[in-house]
Structure 1
Amino acid sequence: MDRKIIKGKSLQEVKPHTKYMACTFYLDYVDGEDLQNTEFDNCSFRGSFRDWGRDEYGLWMAICYKNVRQVMRWIRPGTFMMGSPNTEEYRLGNEQHHQVTLSKGFWLAETVCTQDLWTVVMEKNPSKFQGKSRPVERVSWNDCRMFIGKWNHEVPEWELCLPTEAQWEYACRAGTTTAFSFGETITQNQVHYDAKRTAVVKALLCNDWGLYGMHGNVWEWCEDWYTHHHVTTTNSLRAPDGSERVIRGGGWLNSPNSLRSACRYSCLPNVYNDDIGFRFCLRSKK
């Protein structure tokens, strides 16, 4: 597709398939789809959306809270098979294989929330395994919602939320259909598991979409109430209510069977443990 060319403008939006030359942008939020097939020549970015780029994994942007920086990855919309096929080793009964369509893309944190970021927002650190670049843990689903609420109140240009379970698995798989995003098996050079404590959030490999620690290190809270059965769905949360919230990804003390892309567990929303953390996404403003 040919690009439209715009020169020397002051703009408050970006459109795809456009080449901008010597333009100044004043942006607080950009949907990643608006950056598809764009080109910027001698342009400047002001406002909240100014720290961004493209690399081998795709689009990224960074958001800050009191100078603590968190990189976000753009996860493009798409359709995938959620759950596990009957042939997958260690498959559980709550992993019904079914098609899910995500019609909107979203920005997802490239790592779980660190203790550094949690502390600057909440002014305390509940973690057992202390370290600024380690995951925050010993946080309940309710605690995570308090973190998100405080951030959204104080930095309204970025509307944080927890990913849905479907968003989480879609991002974890990163286009793969195997038991893990790294293949049918994993090693401890790829994933942090069967260990004695958490690891720093970028200690090991990222997946093909630039996301670190989707398998292992700490379990991750999702927005959804837990339900045992899957249904074919588009975008929606899995259940309107319930008693427990979904956790995904496995933790530092687990074996590989609990770290599979399709593996699902749940906890009461007030439960916390030293192997449960979270990563957040940005809510779409379209």
Structure 2
Amino acid sequence: MSKRIVKGKSLKEVEANTKYMGCTFYLGCVDGEDFTGTEFDNCSFRGWFNDWGRDEYGLWMAFTYKNVRQVMRWIRPGTFMMGSPETEEYRQEEEVQHQVTISKGFWLAETACTQELWEAVMESNPSKFKSDKNPVEMVSWNNCSVFMEKLNEEVSELELCLPTEAQWEYACRAGTTTAFSFGKSITTNQVNYRGESTVEVKSFECNNWGLYEMHGDVWEWCSDWYDDYDTSITTDPTGAISGSDRVMRGGGWRFNSSGLVRSACRDGDEPDYRYDYIGFRFCLRSQK
């Protein structure tokens, strides 16, 4: 594909497969696909999308709120097999494997929400294992909704929400088909399970898409109501339209079995349930 060249302009949009030279951008939240095949030579960026870059894991951007910086990763659209094969060790019957397409890319926090970010927004810290860089825990699904609503109101460019269960598993797998994003098995050197408490975010190696602690440390709330899958071939599933429990993914520090921190493992609880192994990771609502 040929590449356009744009020189010396003030712009509010980025187009894929374009080389920009000496341009100034004022960017709100963007679709990461627009950055496919782009080059920037002596350009400056202002506005929402001014703290960003590309590395071995892909495109990232960050926002800062009251001196707390949070990095988000661009998760590209794609198709994957959600659930687990019948041969997978520790498999649960409800993990019926089926094809799911994520049709839109989305920005997902590279870590679970930390206590320092929660406290900056909520001016309190409910966590049992208090440490700024540890994930916030003892937060219910309802508590997380209040947090995101408050931050969205205070930072007009933000539209934070919880990922769907399908988005979460797609991002956790990061292109893999094994029980864990690290392979068929894991050790406590890779994942915080069989632990004594939560640990600082980014304590362990990230997956292939730059996301940390998708396995273990804390269960992470998802947006879906907890119910059996629609096992047909689906696109952008959002779960049941109602229910009594909300989905949790990822497992937690206290579980002795690696089966509870697999990519396909799922659980749920009431939206007002809180415990010291439950936290969350947010994403940005799709702009398209």
Q: TM over 0.5: same fold?
A: yes
List gaps (5 residues or longer) in structure 1.
Answer: none
CA distance in 2, matches of 1:112, 1:275: 12
* Residue in 1 that maps onto 2:167: 167
2:19, 2:250 → 1: CA distance?
Answer: 40
User: 8 Å contact 2:229–2:239 — kept in the other structure?
Assistant: no
Q: Does 1:56 align with 2:56?
A: yes
Amino acid at match of 1:253: R
What is the CA deviation profile of residues 197-242 of structure 1, one whole-angstrom value per residue up to 9, with x for unaligned ones?
A: 0010111110000000000000000000010234332113011111
Q: Is the 8 A contact 1:161 1:283 kept in 2?
A: yes
- The TM-score, its normalising length taken from structure 1, stands at 0.99
1:10 and 2:1 are equivalent in the alignment: no
Q: Which residue of 2 aligns with 1:243?
A: 244
How do 1:44-193 residues align onto structure 2 when only pairs under 5 Å count? 44-193=44-193
Give the CA deviation at 1:177.
0.2
- Distance in 1, matches of 2:160 and 2:236, equals 17
The one-letter code sitting in structure 2 at the alignment partner of 1:138 is M
* CA–CA separation in structure 1 for the residues paired with 2:210 and 2:229: 30
1:190 Cα deviation (Å)? 0.6
SS of 2:287's equivalent in the other structure is coil
Separation in 2, partners of 1:67, 1:20? 31
Equivalent pair of 1:246/1:267 in contact (CA under 8 Å): yes
Q: Which aligned segments of 4 or more residues in structure 1 are displaced greater than 6 angstroms?
A: none
SS in 2 for 1:111: coil
Percent of matched pairs sharing the same residue:
68
In structure 1, distance between residues paired with 2:74 and 2:264: 21
Structure 1 residue 63 displacement after superposition? 1.1
- In the aligned structure 2, how far is the partner of 1:236 from the partner of 1:26? 33
Task: Give me the whole-angstrom Cα distance separating, in 1, the residues matched to 2:204 and 2:103.
Answer: 31
1:94–1:230 CA contact under 8 A, matched in 2:
no
Cα distance in 1 between the residues matched to 2:283 and 2:50: 18
**In structure 2, C-alpha distance between the alignment counterparts of 1:258 and 1:123, rounded to whole Å:** 33
Letter in 2 for 1:206: C
Which consecutive unaligned segments of at least 5 residues does structure 2 have? none
Deviation at 1:174, TM superposition (A): 0.2
C-alpha RMSD over aligned residues: 0.7
CA distance in 1, matches of 2:111, 2:7: 37
CA distance in 2, matches of 1:239, 1:103: 19
CA contact (8 A) 1:126 1:139 kept: yes
Question: Match of 1:71, SS?
Answer: strand
Matched letter for residue 85 of structure 1 = P
Partners of 1:250 and 1:258 within 8 A in 2: yes
Q: Report deviation, 1:277.
A: 0.2
Q: Which residue of 2 aligns with 1:285?
A: 287
